[in-house]
Structure 1
Amino acid sequence: MKRMLFTSESVTEGHPDKICDCISDAILDEILKQDPNARVACETTCTTGIVSIMGEISTSCYVDFPKVARGAIIEIGYDRAKYGFDGNTCAVVTAIDEQSPDIAMGVNEGFENKNGENDIENTNGAGDQGMMFG
């Protein structure tokens, strides 16, 4: 009998991971609203007084990342320094580059499509991203 151990992490309201997820989600939503064909790999980190947004994004639209980040933070309820974080005054640092050619090569056309299986579901390939839950 094979034994397997499955674990997962869960964080509660107010945890920096939750704040960062909300910011990344807001950025993705704004990009996809303007460019449904965008490629987005966006990571966010934060600590008291500062947010860092980084990743690889290929899109034809313009998004004001600091504005979107501040809006997400304020929407969560962090709008005063006395709460330990203030979306109105925190620093927002961005480091965004275009998607690397290596990743683009894998997602521009699916493996199956490259090998002659011309099925609509196999048109796009998979990138380097995983599914998270919890």
Structure 2
Amino acid sequence: MPVRHPWRWAAVAVTAVLIARFVHGPVTNPASVQLLFWFNLAYLDKRLDFGIPFGPGFFHLDTMGLVGAMGAAVLGLALHQAAYAAVRVVPLPMAVTAWYVLLTTVLSVLQHYVERHFSKGATR
């Protein structure tokens, strides 16, 4: 049987690649956002005051020299990896739940057939 629309497969492949790239972008961007935030901290506040809120400050730090380029990179990537490591634990309970549902379903069906076999002479 000849293929009627051979370019349809090419269009599907191109669409799949574009969707994969679209999904990949937001997944990998938090590291970039962390790096930009920590490196440009001085644009948000010129200095950090420690003291009573809306009152006098006991001491202050200039944010321009607080986090350098290397410090921003290390801090941003460390926070990103820590968040990523905390998320990787989640699939384990999901896998355990899926296996539990599968095994209890199989065992329930097996129990149904065993009880049906041994209750042939019983009246209900």
TM-score bracket relative to the smaller structure: under 0.3
Higher strand share: 1
TM-score by length of 1: 0.26
Which of these two proteins has the greater Rg computed from alpha carbons? 2
Higher helix share: 2
